Structure 1
Amino acid sequence: MPQNPQRQIRFNAFDMNCVAHQSSGMWRHPDDQSWRYKDLTYWTELAKLLEQGTFDGIFIADVLGTYDVYGGSNEAAIRHGAQVPVNDPVLLVSAMALVTDHLGFGITAGTAYEHPYPFARRMSTLDHLTNGRVGWNVVTGYLPSAARNMGHEDQLEHDDRYDVADEYLEVLYKLWEGSWEDDAVIRNRETGVFTDPSKVHEIGHKGKNFTVPGIHLSEPSTQRTPVIYQAGASPRGIAFAAGNAEAIFVAASTKAGLKETVKKIRDALEAAGRDRYSAKIYTLLTIITDETTEKAKAKHADYLTYASEEGALVFMSGWMGIDLSQYDLDEPIGNVKSNAIQSTVANFQKANEDGSEWKVRDIARLGAIGGLGPFIVGSGEEIADQLEEWVNETDVDGFNLAYAITPGTFEDVVEFVIPVLRARGVYPDAYAEGTLRNKLHGRGDHLPTEHKGASFRVGGPASTSPR
């Protein structure tokens, strides 16, 4: 039995303010509650369950657009409920924070279509209301439909989107870290001075993409800068993460592929002047479990009867940038002509244990439950064995857990897997105190001094504010 008492396995719950998230068709299952995404009690009940399981947080994905690559339109996405309809993730957080004390909240928001000035205030507001339990998943966007609906012919090229994101983060660091000094708010009832104006500074930013001359509208929140999350395994994405991210999400279908990705990220962190372990790395995974192996396998077989292969291909087409509807389901994957798909296909082929050639149908079946990440099936003991193997062999910190059905998949993890991990001493029994940042890294509430964002503090090397 694998053992590593020195290292704690970490969980995030992966969800989205929509139906079924990544498991197309599973909304039809009688036990699935994802159709309640419009009901605030669905989210508050889920938050309490995750805190019971000592999850680091709930990571809420988002898209601003529809999946319209498959078949050249969004009709299939609409028909299957493939991340449409989808509601805003930000508005869920306050209610979930009210019914929990420790759970973190990772909110996905893009840098392409909202100005950083109002976004900075929105995140500071949430950090105040949650007492420092908010993180921001920085995305640059990947759906062309979002660009068109925001008045652009298409989205920027991949690396150009990251260039915009670099400046976006610079503006935010200036607002969050460098505009208000810690003791600016004095609330002096005798003099009538609420805030000392000499300790609130305009940031004077004038760049290629953004001009923000003024002050941050919010007083410093508990963390100042929310925990920075990022997902992206391209060279440019890894470079961006190395400079900014404190938690990084990846997806890999094999342990060998994951080990390679984790090493690249840790090397990049070190090259950026940070500690190799200054960011927690979570890999995408779906767990299907029960009290016995037989029951878990039966549950998986049951789920497959509801999964939508076409819905899965809608997602895969969007993620890969190629219309898979033009291929027969039994077409060998080697015949799919696209540079965009080849790296993913290579991972699929590594995971194909019997050596047979993958077909388009195989991609649909693989992605029908949990999307691009792998899924594992077994009893709590068997799942715990596999999780320990993944952590010990790949150097990953934890798992971003997608669901087959919700909240059932998360309930099963809490009931059958977490007690086993706790008994082995490899999963936390309780939360650390303090903010989300301190719970993740144990180094306090604010950005560490070696993080690039810290350089924008008043008096720091990148500060625009006089001391």
Structure 2
Amino acid sequence: MKEIRLNAFDMNCVSHQASGLWRHPRDRSAQYNTLSYWIELARLLERGLFDTLFLADVLGVYDVYGASPDAALRNASQVPVNDPAMLVPAMAAVTRNLGFGVTCTLSYEHPFPFARRMSTLDHLTDGRVGWNIVTGYLNSAARGTGQARQHGHDTRYDIADEYMQAVYGLWEGSWEDGAVLRDRASGVFTDPSKVHRIRHEGKYLSVDAIHLCEPSPQRTPVLFQAGASPRGQEFAATHAECVFIAGPSREVVRQTTTGIRERARRAGRAPGEPLVFALLTVITAPTHEEAVFKYNEYQRYISTEGALALLSGWTGVDFSQYALDAPVRHVRNDAIHSAIDSLTVMDPERVWTVGELARHAAIGGMGPTIVGSPAEIADQMEAWVAQTGIDGFNLAYAVAPETFEDIVDLVIPELQRRGRYRTAYPPGTLRQKLFGRGDRLGAEHAARRVVRERVQTDD
């Protein structure tokens, strides 16, 4: 039977997906700015044999709702938010196997310093780091970095393709495997003839440099991506090793997964790539009745305004202009089509209101929330995997760390009893653990082609 894979979905902030639940008396997410909070979480997830702690990020503030950041600030809707990469070394120091997926926006940082930061993290984690490649979607982030506004959607992906060429050259082509000698007798640490200058001159980016880091265990971090648009799926098919998707129904997730896999096949990718993880929020307790009670308790703490602030940022629609009982089908622009269409697939007969959409998103974001006993949760997870073709789940929380504790203590043992979840970590780097084919990118990956075509040595 296919093994179900799990990632924990979190963010270096107070309120990630669950709007308002930071007020719950058992929630500790307001301790996000302490190392002890993250160290305890990393130990918990390693005990649960999670593949990764996937850390989301946003460079900018949600200010579409009411044309102001006030609602986001009032509700801690992904603000304040700290740098996710800074957490990784501390968590790596108290774990041996847990991977760390770090979201970094390529639109606002040059490839040269970014490549060094990721190589550093790969060294410090013994090869357990991944990069979630994002292009950004908030104009506030563009303005904060000196741009009038962000580039158009497809242009951002054009820039991302070029960015990948640059970092692939630095990670894969600048230092040969035998470049570092560490020869005390001769006094030679690095053989200069085996270190190469990377020259990239493109439409959007220019690089002329030697990578500053010696090769890390994985060289290129494991590549994650979360774009569901046709252009995003095309990018994922070329570059991503793991893809995160969000859909409110099995049919939506099945269609997205099928589209990504077909594009990857046409791109010549290896069988089984990319791995696909679907967003899911789990509310569980020892019995069905206790789980429903817990879910109803959580509902009392949600913030409709906070959820709408996030939804406005995700879609580009200012939901403050609409009454809570307004039908969502009347709220349409180019940005929100996919969200509305996915809701239609989930329930073609239902007409969602703005308020219902907010309450749906207030705990699970744009993914589903499932409620039940451990056996009921395992049943649903198995059905999702069987009916959609996904490899596993990106698990968001409602109350932190309670949601993850319930999954580790209740759901994972049930999956293990069914033979659907591992009982020990395999050895090796994050890439080796995920794919079992070694520490480095495969020969068929786009990075290897870039190195063969673009790397130039010094005269």
The normalised TM-score by structure 2 is 0.98
Aligned-partner SS, 1:38 = coil
- Quick check: 1:58 aligned with 2:53? yes
- Quick check: 1:101 aligned with 2:79? no
- Say if 1:46 and 1:407, in contact at 8 Å, map to a contact too: yes
1:464 Cα offset (Å)? 2.6
1:214-229 alignment, distance < 5 Å: 214-229=209-224
- Say if 1:20 and 1:405, in contact at 8 Å, map to a contact too: no
Aligned-partner SS, 1:317 = helix
- Say if 2:252 and 2:346, in contact at 8 Å, map to a contact too: no
CA distance in 1, matches of 2:259, 2:322: 34
| Residues 445-465 of structure 1: CA deviation (Å, up to 9, x unaligned) | 0000000112344xx344334
- 1:99 partner amino acid: V
CA distance in 1, matches of 2:170, 2:212: 9
CA distance in 2, matches of 1:211, 1:385: 51
- Say if 2:199 and 2:455, in contact at 8 Å, map to a contact too: no
Equivalent of 1:381 in 358, 375, 379? 375
- 1:184 partner amino acid: A
Find the counterpart in structure 1 of residue 437 from structure 2.
443
Aligned-partner SS, 1:368 = helix
CA distance in 2, matches of 1:89, 1:36: 14
Find the counterpart in structure 1 of residue 191 from structure 2.
196
- 1:464 partner amino acid: Q
Find the counterpart in structure 2 of residue 322 from structure 1.
317
CA distance in 1, matches of 2:103, 2:254: 25
CA distance in 2, matches of 1:342, 1:455: 36
Equivalent residues, number? 459
1:65-76 alignment, distance < 5 Å: 65-76=60-71
- Say if 2:122 and 2:129, in contact at 8 Å, map to a contact too: yes
Find the counterpart in structure 2 of residue 362 from structure 1.
356
Find the counterpart in structure 1 of residue 389 from structure 2.
395
CA distance in 2, matches of 1:206, 1:323: 39
Aligned-partner SS, 1:340 = coil
Aligned-partner SS, 2:102 = strand
CA distance in 1, matches of 2:145, 2:244: 27
CA distance in 1, matches of 2:278, 2:251: 13
- 2:125 partner amino acid: T
Find the counterpart in structure 1 of residue 428 from structure 2.
434
Find the counterpart in structure 2 of residue 463 from structure 1.
455
- 2:313 partner amino acid: G
1:362 Cα offset (Å)? 0.6
| Residues 242-298 of structure 1: CA deviation (Å, up to 9, x unaligned) | 111000000011111111110000001001111342211000000000000000000
1:123 Cα offset (Å)? 0.4
CA distance in 2, matches of 1:340, 1:231: 16
Q: Please list every run of 5 or more consecutive structure 2 residues that lacks an aligned counterpart in the other structure.
A: none
Instruction: Give RMSD over aligned pairs.
Output: 1.2
- 1:246 partner amino acid: E
Q: Please list every run of 5 or more consecutive structure 1 residues that lacks an aligned counterpart in the other structure.
A: none
Find the counterpart in structure 1 of residue 406 from structure 2.
412
- Say if 2:225 and 2:242, in contact at 8 Å, map to a contact too: yes
Aligned-partner SS, 2:198 = coil
| Residues 194-227 of structure 1: CA deviation (Å, up to 9, x unaligned) | 1000000101222222221120000000000000
- 1:166 partner amino acid: D
CA distance in 1, matches of 2:178, 2:241: 26
1:350 Cα offset (Å)? 3.0
Find the counterpart in structure 2 of residue 87 from structure 1.
82
Equivalent of 1:42 in 25, 37, 51? 37
Equivalent of 2:9 in 14, 19, 35? 14
CA distance in 2, matches of 1:260, 1:464: 42
- 2:397 partner amino acid: Y
- 1:111 partner amino acid: L
- 2:391 partner amino acid: D
Find the counterpart in structure 1 of residue 120 from structure 2.
125
Find the counterpart in structure 1 of residue 344 from structure 2.
349
Aligned-partner SS, 1:30 = coil
CA distance in 2, matches of 1:335, 1:437: 45
- Say if 1:456 and 1:464, in contact at 8 Å, map to a contact too: no
